[in-house]
Chain A
Amino acid sequence: MKNDLNIVGKRVARSDSLAKVTGEARYTSDIKLPNMLVGKVLRSPYPHARIIRIDLSQALKVPGVKAAISGFDAYGIKWGVFRYTQDHAMLPTDKVRYIGEDVAAVAAVDEETALAALSYIKVDYEPLPAVFDPIESMKDGAPQIHKEYKNNINIHIHIDVGEVDKAMENAFLVREDTFKAAGEAYAMMEPYAVVASYKNGFLDLWMPNAGPHVRAKALSNLLKMPLNKVRVRHINSGGAFGGRSEVAPADLVASLLSIKADRPVKLTHSREENATSSRQIHDIIATVKTGMKKDGTIVAKDYKVIYNGGAYSSTGPIATSIPFYVYEECYRFPNVRYNGYRVFTNKGIRGMYGCHGRAFLAGNEAQMDLMAKELGMDPAEIRLKNGLKPGEMTATKSKITSCGLKETIEAASEKTDFKKRWARTTRFKGIGMGCVAIMCGFPMGFRSGSSCYVKINDDGQVTLVSGLVDNGQGNESMLIQVASEVLGVPMEDINLICADTEVTNLDPGSYSQAAAFVGANAVKAACENARKRIVAIAAEKLGVKEADIGLKDRMAYFVKEPDKKMPISWVVREAFFRGEPIVATGSFFPNIDFEREWVSRPWGQMAGTFSFGTSVAEVVIDPETGKVTVPRFTAAHDCGHPINPMAVEGQMEGSILQAGVATVTEGNLWDEGYLLNPDLLEYKVPLACDMPDMETIIVSSHDPAGPFGAKEGGLTVRMNAYSAVACAVTNATGELFEELPLTPDRMLRLLERKKGVK
């Protein structure tokens, strides 16, 4: 089937593009419901303080105010992704734990009234000592942020495979370095917004989210409402990047306000609130020790990684693990020890990120280059030597099925003339390579699979129902494209209903890279079941064998004599006549080891498959100012067989910007608990004109289990682009970076260190 595809693999315009480029697409803030109120949140001015009393009475007297709430109006339930991480009340009643934490809220007839009413809420606090640095936070005697977690250690991931110490002893070359990175901002174009509408016992919600079903479930728990009464509805999302995977404090706040006021409430974050009070990214300190044989074979890795986890658990166990896994899924580590600590501090809440773990990953890759150089090898050679191959197992026992790592290294090297240019030492110019692998999905229990329902309507058009959500990466278009291929009708004939928890079935969401591999596979299965029904009737009517029926251009036809055909709509009408309309379901459940657990049992099959990628960055360093620029960037990606190459390239280009150029510009700045750059002026998201010249190479392969051979598309580049930039800097200077981002002041220090300037 691979070679005779009509739509899959073609560069089609995404189904959502027109509405987005014309500004017609609706986002949460665009929603206007009758009698809708505006919600505003009162936030903690303290990094750590006991709440003595919250008095809403004066705020409620402000004309135009229809509701005011605090945590005392909630149900005392704490959110956590895991049973052992339930520590986030979203609206605290005991203590505030970061500046900007939601404390109370009002809903009023307009924004001005709501803002004015906030000043009438009286909160008495007893300020407590606070801690902001994870190393300080782990010390005995540091302020205790949650009483359940000794030394503020939220999560400790301990992985120990083989005999690390012995292997290090016997290694020819051992090196240990520590790398730091500032946390990043997701900086989605759309600041967070929620509309909650409570009516007749039902709560309808719209918000940008990466998993409507898990969101509805979390809110049903927090609000003590049956799950069928909480309905998360479809709405376009202005970006997620991992930051909208979990229930947000604003969801609870808007819901409580709507329930109290008995009117719809819209709560929109300002850009600043989006930064201070929705999730941000972990700051990381990664110590990487590597042992190598004389021939460059990695014999052991020993890691200690500290994640500044902010005030609450969030996706803690996952966030503490992912950087390690995407690395072990790429390279062969016979002996490896990983100690990952996620530590509470009095900083804002943190979550997973599409570029999560840059200190760890870039540190590993840059260190590997220096060690390889010492052994007389180049970066491509050492990566090929240690890279996993199809059929191999990772250190924690995941089987790698399809694997195009080698092909991506070769393609990126060839395109950039890598080996020659890496060896040529031009002053203050460098080229570097970063590799990584990504799991397509990870264990999420019964939520790990996806299902789809499809019906063919009387004119032959199709309605698809899927739980998958699109956060801007093109998931909706991808599902439509897959259905179009299977059913032989053009994409414009297909209506997709998705991400609405009332009508769709469970889906893992779009934050574990499972959308293509799991979600699209379910759509494919459902459409294939519908196709069988169409084919059966068409074969009967055309008097040929079912195996000889093809579907294309809205027609069912005899493959040996294509003029012998009938419209699919006739087949559908015939099915209605027979009282058996063409409806079908299909589902996909990945091959995952469900005994695997992030903390207690960190081994077993992580995901159904893995995608791979290699990025090559070229840098130029200004020797006087230390300013780093990235004039050219090449990314090669094994995403299996791409469903829409143009969409994959778009993801790759976005990744080059968000991770690659960001290596030089992006990082959150703090003065203790105060976030100093909660805005897009001082948080330096690169703009279009900051982009390097880009080359994207899709190394097309065929995954045996992926839909039409497809795997995750784009995230590998997000996870290796910073490594490429860091390695290019190492190539240019012979030095390892100490801290990301590589701002000019840090870069100049690096250059001075090389010169021996104190």
Chain B
Amino acid sequence: MILPRFEYKKVQSIASAIALYKKHKGKVRYLAGGTDLVPLLKLRLATPAVVIDLKGIEELKTISRHGGWLAIGANVTLFDLKNDPAVKEYFPALYESLDATSCETLQMRGTIGGNILQDVRCLQYNKSMEWRTARGFCFKMGGKTCNVVPNAKTCFANYCSDNAPALITLSAKARLSGPGGERTIKLEKIFNGAGRRPFALEAGEILTRILIPLKKTKGAYEKLRVRDSMDYPLVGVAVSVADGKVRACVGGIGPEPRVYDLKSANDGAVNEAADKAYTDARPASNTVLSAAYRKKMVPVLLKRAVKKVMQGGK
């Protein structure tokens, strides 16, 4: 499948990226590793006039520590991040989620910024123009209703980043730069819950850094997939424990991850969170495994992750 035509611009600074965005009046997509965007372009799911390549922005390629935070540039590859000693030592949930992402070859290509801002996925959405035209456009493509859940005027596509749930359990923040200036928000606040356009970013905003409180945590990431070598999560659950506080986050079902702060790590609290997560999960038949099964796996993986953290002492 060939790419559609677009103009390609590579920038050296955040400011010039934003300037270009303004110049082209928003008919722009930002490109980092390309592992999410390039397939979307080929499938004609994204049709920008201009693609602005952010890989030339050197300041976004660094991992640094300051003021009690680990600041990760959005251009850091998943592979480099996985191999950063601080990640291994301080954030085991993130280490495991990075390791579980795709395969190593693609970890070397994909960036943490791109991984977090990947579009939501659905068996009936990530298809060629020909396939989608034959099927009829769904809600996310601008059609009237969902093609998976008949008559639903909402989108049930799944957010499939392995790393965002892990980062959320670590109370990570996102630093954003855009035409309106800079801001820092909790990572979970970048989602708006709408599969059609899942991110609450302002027009032209660039995710520049991820900030994680630099303190030792215990953690785990449990991922359900059919093919271990390389697969998006069908359900993914991250758990981190810091200062005795247990935080879990469920991804892979629906357009945003769901976060759960547990009162403690005792059975009652874990069961309560697991029950809540089960109730909250609203999977649709838009992956290779059934919706009912994926829902059932939410509490299973949540409990398993907590158990692993408490027993493993990581």
Contacts and interface: CB of A to CB of B under 8 A. Distances in A.
A and B physically associate: yes
Interface of A: 43-46, 99-100, 111-112, 115, 270-272, 276, 624-625, 627, 629, 664-665, 669, 671, 674, 676-678, 681-682, 684-690, 743-745, 748
B66 interface: no
Contacts of A100: 134
A745 B228 contact: no
Contacts of A627: 224
B145 interface: no
A272 B297 contact: no
Nearest to B131: A272
A99 B131 CA distance: 9
B99 to A, nearest CB: 13
A748 B293 contact: yes
B127 A745 contact: no
Interface string B134-147: 11000000000000
Nearest to B229: A687
A665 B226 contact: yes
B229 A689 contact: yes
B133 A45 contact: yes
Contacts of A664: 226
B290 A43 contact: no
B138 to A, nearest CB: 12
Contacts of A111: 2
Contacts of B289: 743-745
29 contacts: A44-B134, A46-B134, A99-B134, A100-B134, A111-B2, A112-B2, A115-B2, A270-B1, A270-B128, A272-B127, A272-B130, A276-B131, A624-B300, A625-B300, A665-B227, A671-B124, A674-B135, A676-B123, A676-B124, A677-B123, A677-B288, A678-B131, A681-B126, A682-B123, A686-B227, A689-B229, A690-B229, A744-B226, A744-B289
Given A625-B224, A689-B229, A745 B128 contact: no
A625 B124 CA distance: 25
Nearest to B3: A112
Given A624-B300, A625-B297, A682-B288, 10 more contacts: A270-B128, A625-B224, A625-B301, A627-B224, A665-B227, A669-B288, A677-B123, A686-B229, A744-B293, A745-B293
B227 A684 contact: yes
A678 to B, nearest CB: 7
Interface string B45-75: 0000000000000000000000000000000
Nearest to B133: A45
A506 B289 CA distance: 47
B231 interface: yes
Which 4 pairs show the lowest CB-CB distances between chains A and B? Answer: A45-B134, A745-B293, A687-B229, A684-B227
B230 interface: yes
Contacts, number: 80
A690 B224 contact: no
Interface residues of B, number: 32
B213 to A, nearest CB: 32
A347 to B, nearest CB: 14
Contact of A684 (B133, B226, B301): B226
A745 B301 CA distance: 14
A406 to B, nearest CB: 36
A671 B226 CA distance: 20
Given A112-B2, A684-B226, A674 B131 contact: yes
Contact of A687 (B5, B230, B300): B230
B109 interface: no
A292 to B, nearest CB: 36
B304 interface: yes
Interface in B211-267: 224, 226-232
A690 B227 CA distance: 7
A669 B227 contact: no
A669 B133 contact: no
A674 B134 contact: yes
Contacts of B292: 745
A742 B297 CA distance: 17
A743 B127 contact: no
Contacts of A271: 1
A674 B127 CA distance: 11
Nearest to B294: A745
A372 to B, nearest CB: 31
Contacts of B128: 270, 272
A698 B287 CA distance: 40
Contacts of A669: 123, 288
Nearest to A672: B135
Nearest to B303: A624
A90 B250 CA distance: 48
A745 B227 contact: no
Contacts of B130: 43, 272
Nearest to A99: B134
B224 A744 contact: yes
A190 B300 CA distance: 40
Contacts of B226: 664-665, 684, 743-744
A48 to B, nearest CB: 13
Contacts of A687: 103, 227, 229-230
Contacts of A43: 130, 134
Contacts of A744: 224, 226, 289, 293
Given A276-B131, A744-B289, A689 B228 contact: yes
A623 to B, nearest CB: 10
Contacts of B127: 272, 678
B281 to A, nearest CB: 15
A137 B191 CA distance: 46
Nearest to A627: B224
A47 B198 CA distance: 33
A523 to B, nearest CB: 39
A219 B131 CA distance: 29
A624 B227 contact: no
Contacts of A688: 229
Nearest to A118: B130
A684 B304 CA distance: 25
A45 B224 CA distance: 34
Contacts of A684: 226-227, 231, 288
Contacts of B231: 684
A745 B1 CA distance: 33
Interface in B1-18: 1-2, 5
Contacts of B134: 43-46, 99-100, 674
Contacts of B135: 674
B115 to A, nearest CB: 16
Contacts of B300: 624-625
A743 B229 contact: no
B288 A624 contact: no
Contacts of A748: 293, 296
A277 to B, nearest CB: 10
A684 B1 CA distance: 20
A743 B288 contact: yes
A753 to B, nearest CB: 14
A170 B127 CA distance: 56
Interface in B67-113: 103
Nearest to A270: B1
Contacts of A45: 133-134
